[in-house]
Structure 1
């Protein structure tokens, strides 16, 4: 599994996880403070000073609120790329990639074999434990917990068409009713 595979999963998770939705709301609230401040400061220091003291105090507050409301959609859209950028930086900093992961799809379970350095781990996930399947252009994500999934690339070098059709058959057989795109 490559870093790009994991970041693709992270992106998919950000669209479907309750934790990421809460983080997005918190991000939006925190980012409203600098946008309000920026609108306030621009109005208070750039525009000519009104003669009325009430207007002098209310105009910057009103423009700060308007500035915040206008930038809210942009701030919402920036949360996803910012979260992925943070994840990428953290993973590079701690040097945890790449991992050697091998998936074996069986009629009863999916077996994941992970090798990282001298540590080797094997996990079996029964098909009945898979909660849902999401997919993007390049990957399928088989969620067995709300925030954990098996990442299956749709096509990889070294995978023949016969193997790919067998993967599609097994996924279709076991996950036809659980697919949520």
Structure 2
């Protein structure tokens, strides 16, 4: 990660959040379940991870916390009581990735994506299977059964896919910067 000013970090993060918002909005307007799970979600996860790489971990966490709110506002995700769990899952993804990239000398970014994807998927699966009932959140049983599918392996896939996208873009970015 390069050394950049806080203003530049905030600007980059805001641009990534705006990009994620556009993708979420397109998904809400035109996408079905498949499109949203396998196209929109990886791009949103890539935006979160890109904020970590191109700004800082705290900005990645911030983008991760705000994207579910944007999805809720646009109608992309219509289960408000579960939104905080997704926010935490995204924050865990950003934190895992950021800490791994910082502290693992060799391959930290790759390790971080794998660890982050697993932690996010496990947390969301645990949330839908246990925390929703523990906290007495009134989500209907039909919705819970669908959430159990969407908030498990699919989350690991979307986080891994987002990680692959961002690492490919990061390699291109490094080459362009090196050529300057």
Q: Which has the higher contact order (CA 8 A, sep 6+)?
A: 2
Please give the TM-score of this superposition, normalised by the length of structure 1: 0.24
Please give the TM-score of this superposition, normalised by the length of structure 2: 0.24
- The structure carrying a bigger helix percent of its residues is 2
- The structure carrying a bigger strand percent of its residues is 1
Specify the structure having the higher radius of gyration (Cα).
Answer: 1
